[in-house]
Amino acid sequence: MYRVRKIPSLVDLCVNKAIDNIRFLGDVGETDIHLLERILPHCTVDQLMHVEKSSEGRDLTPVTDKLWKKFYERQFGKESTTTVIERMRQKRVAFRWIQLYEAKMQDIEKNESKAADRIKQSYLKENARKQSRQIQICSKVPPSSNKRSFGGSGYGYNVANTKNKILKKAKIEVLQSQEMKNIKAWRRNAVQKSSDIPSTKKPMFPGRESASTSKNTSTHMAKRW
């Protein structure tokens, strides 16, 4: 015995087709409520909001209010939903859940904007502090010294104070070159020759010394007379 397959009605085919293309749904116009109750629950938040804004002059609250309550509870939590219901009961007011959803989203966007501004200001202050600190550090760095050294290490540059590796290598090569070796040898020979010269004192004015001796002799002889 074969099971007879139920043939869908024209209304069912239209509803299924609308659900399949629900992302293109906009102004529902004068669509019957019982059809919207089958179609709109398949909408996302953005899709349902688009239908609400597009259907001007049509109050969809009988169908969409319970849907917006579900979205509110799903987005902001059951505790927040209960708090809103309690506040409306105490103040004896009633708002549509789409209004409550939009108001809550606006509050969140404002808080996020304020938080973003605070983060931005903190970042700017931190960046300014780092820049001022870098300027202070640069002002305190002593200038690099490229003085020549003529001490015991010989004629040449002070290689120890050179931080650049390439420049340091070049200076070492200059110091080890044959020309620098010749200069060092010449300096050693000059120092050695100067130390070998005898230190003899010569009278600066020999004529004056002989004249003084002659004068003293004459004076001595005059005293004898």
Quick: pLDDT tens for 171-215. 777 777 777 777 777 777 766 665 655 544 444 444 444 444 444
For residues 11-19, average pLDDT: 92
Hey, CA dihedral for 134, 137, 139, 145, is it positive or negative? negative
Q: What does the block give as tokens for 29? A: 């116009």
Residue type for position 204: M
* Rounded Cα–Cα distance for residues 52 and 28 (Å): 9
**Residues contacting 180, CB < 8 A, separation 6+:** 154, 155, 156, 174
The confidence score (pLDDT) of residue 169 equals 72
pTM over 0.75: no
Q: 97 burial class (0-12, 13-18, 19+ CB within 10 angstroms)?
A: buried
Which residues have C-beta within 8 Å of that of residue 45, sequence separation ≥ 6? 71, 75
> Is residue 58 pLDDT above 80, yes or no?
yes
- In this structure, which amino acid lies at residue 11? V
Residues with Cβ < 8 Å from 141, sequence gap 6 or more? Answer: none
